[in-house]
Amino acid sequence: MNVSDIKHAGIKAWVEECVKMCEPDNVVVVDGSTAEYDRLMKKCVDAGLATPLKAKENCFLFRSLPSDVARVESRTFISSKKEEDAGPTNHWIDPVELKATMKGLYTGCMHGRTMYVIPFCMGPLGSPIAKYGIELTDSEYVVLNMDIMTRAGEKVWQYLGTDGDWVPCLHSVGKPLNNGEKDNGIWPCADVEHKYISQFPEEHLVWSYGSGYGGNALLGKKCFALRIATVIAREEGWLAEHMLILKLTNPKGQVKYVTGAFPSACGKTNLAMLIPTIPGWKVETVGDDIAWMKFGKDGRLYAINPEAGFFGVAPGTSAESNKNALISAEKNTIYTNCALTEDGDVWWEGIGYPAKGKLVDWKGNTRDALPKDKSPKGEEFAHPNARFTAPAKQCPCIADEWENPEGVPISAILFGGRRPSTVPLVHQARSWNHGVFLGSIVGSEITAASTINAAEVGKIRRDPFAILPFCGYNMGDYFQHWIDVGAKADQDKLPKIFYVNWFRKDENNADLPGGFMWPGYGDNSRVLEWIFDRCDGKDNYVDTPIGYMPKEGAINTDGLADCYKKTLPEILKVDVEGWKKEVKDIRENHYPKFGKHLPKELTAILDDLESRLNKA
């Protein structure tokens, strides 16, 4: 298919406009076929950009440059017409100014390269919740990853028709090849100061320049699925969220679906692919990262996973922490910035076993392996943000319903963060608005391991709804949107909302591995069991100043290690003094950021919480 064959007049005109500006040597409309994937991967291998992995079927390793290894927060912009609409937590540049700058960078930026036109769908094809986009890119790596992460190719055109809605996504690595230049095996990207990941919310438009890595370049992921989708969701009355989706089946065969929002390094992917430790329970994966939720005809909230693959963090993924993720990435997977072993496999820190012989690290240097699966900070063999891109359908615990066009009905929404103190193992919101309050205060405690600034240790880094870097508009207005969605719904059909914390610590208890008072991983199924029963209205709770918490004996401890049986009562108590400090921090340091955009309902709930604590 050629650009001249595109039947959608709007898309055809936009592609032709971008071709004229970017001046690629060739233009290819992606068809999404296996033959095309294989051809593009061979091109990457022949160019020295990809290494076939002998130990894994149809798997390949890429190495990026040190300047292009992760999302670049400082170069990510919400370019709304008014700065106020971007809000205090986003970077803003006037759209007229930003477009002028980026057009200057885009002009001739694809010299020596091919422009690929990727038609893609976020969500199951034909789903009433799905959305469509076109990404233009000069990166084969991006085409290959988008083929795994989205439903991409010629099958999308029938759903776009001649005038269907779509999101335009323009991407370039920002490294033109002039006068016969080659990449010579070096990852193509621009200098940091020339990187732009720009969202124009009023136009539902994404422009990205200078980075070839992850969410900066795979524009269906964070740019479309969250930053632009949150804007569309607000306009249309639904929810686009940074949430996993779980299917829970109890021993009686009863099923419930749960979503959950967790900041990075808080066990989100592990929970998405959890293997329960309590007999008779089954956990299956619908999605590991993003959920789009709309109300169905029956008044319930239904969710789809808009992605078709997993873009997972490799370091720390092991048979103990996430066996299902490892199995998912055994074949047909793209690895980025992992270490390469002598026998043609990948390795990373926290994989659960030491490597043997020599390793080629993520920078391409050959070094002797260490006798353990850890490395000194700054000397890692795999970059801490090394990734695997694996098809979701390969996950051994993928739910049959994961591609149901209608979505799955959500019974519970979980929030959580990494909190060594104060926040209990689990508590439930009394109402939808109380749940919005819990989502609005999500955060993780800064530790010595996560900062070089000693003054920061112990402070809470807030990440409301775990969506702070990904919301396409003012976060205060985002809180209001959640309140508005709840107000219009049948209250009896809304999901119940919970806050969980797997990370309470007692550093002085030598019996606790790592000082953690809860084992986490598969034992989190014990908390999910309580949540499942609460969704059915089971009387297994007590009312406390912070919300509903498990009654004594309500958490199943059969088979739980004795050291955790001893700590369980402590992590199911209300730390009144700790919560008073929490209220003070929210009132003085967190909520004031949102000014007049902070919903009055949240201030009222904070006042109520303080009053309840004072009476406790």
* pLDDT tens digits, one per residue of 427-443: 999 999 999 999 999 99
Say what the pLDDT of residue 246 is: 97
66: tokens are 């040190």
Which pLDDT band holds residue 458 (cuts at 50, 70, 90)? confident
Q: What is the DSSP letter of 588?
A: I
The answer, yes or no, to whether residue 165 has pLDDT greater than 60, is yes
Tokens 């270490």: give the residue.
339
The answer, yes or no, to whether residue 451 has pLDDT greater than 80, is no
Q: Which fold has domain 3-49+72-236?
A: Phosphoenolpyruvate Carboxykinase; domain 1 (3.40.449)
CA atoms within 13 A on the CB side of 166: 26
| pLDDT tens for each residue of 86-135 | 999 999 999 999 999 999 999 999 999 999 999 999 999 999 999 999 99
Instruction: Find the mean pLDDT for residues 226-235.
Output: 98
Q: Which fold has domain 241-306+399-615?
A: Phosphoenolpyruvate Carboxykinase; domain 3 (3.90.228)
Strands 167-172 and 205-209, bridge-based pairing: parallel
**Counting beta carbons within 10 angstroms of the beta carbon of residue 284, is it exposed (0 to 12), middle (13 to 18) or buried (19 or more)?**
buried
Instruction: Find the mean pLDDT for residues 59-81.
Output: 96
Short-list 460, 435, 434, 426, CA closest to 540: 426
Q: How far is the C-alpha of 429 from the C-alpha of 497, rounded, in Å?
A: 6
Which pLDDT band holds residue 459 (cuts at 50, 70, 90)? confident
Tell me yes or no: is domain 310-394 CATH 2.170.8.10. Answer: yes
Which pLDDT band holds residue 266 (cuts at 50, 70, 90)? confident
| pLDDT tens for each residue of 195-212 | 999 999 999 999 999 999
Strands 426-428 and 541-544, bridge-based pairing: unpaired
Range(s) within the chain of domains with CATH label 3.40.449.10: 3-49+72-236
Say what the pLDDT of residue 454 is: 63
SS3 426: strand
Least confident of 349-358, 447-456, 582-591: 447-456
Instruction: Find the mean pLDDT for residues 164-183.
Output: 96
Range(s) within the chain of domains with CATH label 3.90.228.20: 241-306+399-615
Query: Kind and range of the H or E element at 594?
Result: none
Contact 446, 452 (CB under 8 A): no
Query: Kind and range of the H or E element at 485?
Result: helix 475-488
Q: What is the DSSP letter of 370?
A: P
558 alpha-carbon distance from chain centroid: 33
Query: Kind and range of the H or E element at 349?
Result: none
Say what the pLDDT of residue 456 is: 76
Range(s) within the chain of domains with CATH label 2.170.8.10: 310-394
The answer, yes or no, to whether residue 426 has pLDDT greater than 60, is yes
What is the rounded radius of gyration, in angstroms, for the C-alpha atoms of the chain? Answer: 24
Short-list 436, 449, 464, 443, CA closest to 602: 436
The answer, yes or no, to whether residue 391 has pLDDT greater than 90, is yes
The answer, yes or no, to whether residue 376 has pLDDT greater than 80, is yes
Which pLDDT band holds residue 452 (cuts at 50, 70, 90)? low
Q: How far is the C-alpha of 540 from the C-alpha of 343, rounded, in Å?
A: 53
436: tokens are 């919005």
Q: How far is the C-alpha of 48 from the C-alpha of 46, rounded, in Å?
A: 5
Strands 239-241 and 346-347, bridge-based pairing: unpaired
| Catalytic residue positions, numbered | 266
Could you give the angle at the alpha carbon of 600 between the alpha carbons of 596 and 605, nearest 5°? Answer: 135
67 alpha-carbon distance from chain centroid: 22
